[in-house]
Amino acid sequence: PLPNPDMSAMQPDYGNPGYWDERYAASDGAAFDWYIPFSTLKPHISPFLSVDNDFEILIPGCGTSTLGADLYDMGYLNVTNIDTSSVVINQMNDKYQDREEMEYTVMDATNLEHLPDSCFDVIIDKAMFDACLCSEHNLTSITSLTKEMHRVLKPGGVYLVVSYGLPPTRMGYLTPKGLSWQVEYKKMLKPQVENSKEVQGNSDHHFLYV
């Protein structure tokens, strides 16, 4: 696997769907949001969103995050949440069945074979990118992920990546040859989480790559 200098040595294999099925079954669908809550993320992503009827949002690796529901409740109704774990998708379908236009679907973000080209206006990746870098086959996974995100974006669409990774450890993966997008980033102050077992990085900030 490709080494990652800001990554702890003994992390779970975040690329293994079996790991996530066990984790989500044990949590019984309890809400968990990686890195920062929606209230912190909202002002950073709102400029890229629209309530137009044909505006489509994709959330890859949704897990038990409330992000999709939070967006839906703000009027962004066309939200597609995907995850490789059938356990969590079933949990979220049950939990948010009252939000009829929002979708939860079992799908691998590195292989979106059932989705056509150019179908989303915005993709909000909250730790999915980092999870690929923590997987056993990280170089293959991250290459496939960025290609698929690029493919399903509409012309002029935006891929938003929330990451703990410093720019020197992320920009190379986001700007490989063959992807015709420009990448910028901004810092977001990291909330303090005591006794967290998750990868958080060594910086006082998280980063939003755009």
**pLDDT tens digit string along 26-47?**
766 667 777 888 999 999 999 9
Residue 192: predicted pLDDT: 63
Closest CA to 176 of 153, 144, 207, 206: 144
* pLDDT(48) > 90: yes
Cα angle, residue 66 at apex, residues 28 and 192 outer, rounded to 5°: 95
pLDDT in tens, 154-163: 999 999 999 9
Residue 116: predicted pLDDT: 96
How would residue 67 be classed by pLDDT, with cut points 50, 70 and 90?
very high
* pTM summary value: 0.86
183 or 13, greater pLDDT: 183
How would residue 61 be classed by pLDDT, with cut points 50, 70 and 90?
very high
Residue 205: predicted pLDDT: 87
Give mean pLDDT, residues 116-144. 90
| Cα–Cα distance for residue pair 42/26, rounded to 1 Å | 29
Residue 7: predicted pLDDT: 43
How would residue 180 be classed by pLDDT, with cut points 50, 70 and 90?
confident
Strand segments, DSSP code E, in the chain are: 57-60, 79-83, 103-106, 120-126, 153-163, 185-189, 205-209
Q: Measure CA 192 to chain center.
A: 21
Residue 190: predicted pLDDT: 80
Give mean pLDDT, residues 156-178. 92
On whether the CB atoms of residues 167 and 187 are closer than 8 A, the answer is no
| Cα–Cα distance for residue pair 197/148, rounded to 1 Å | 29
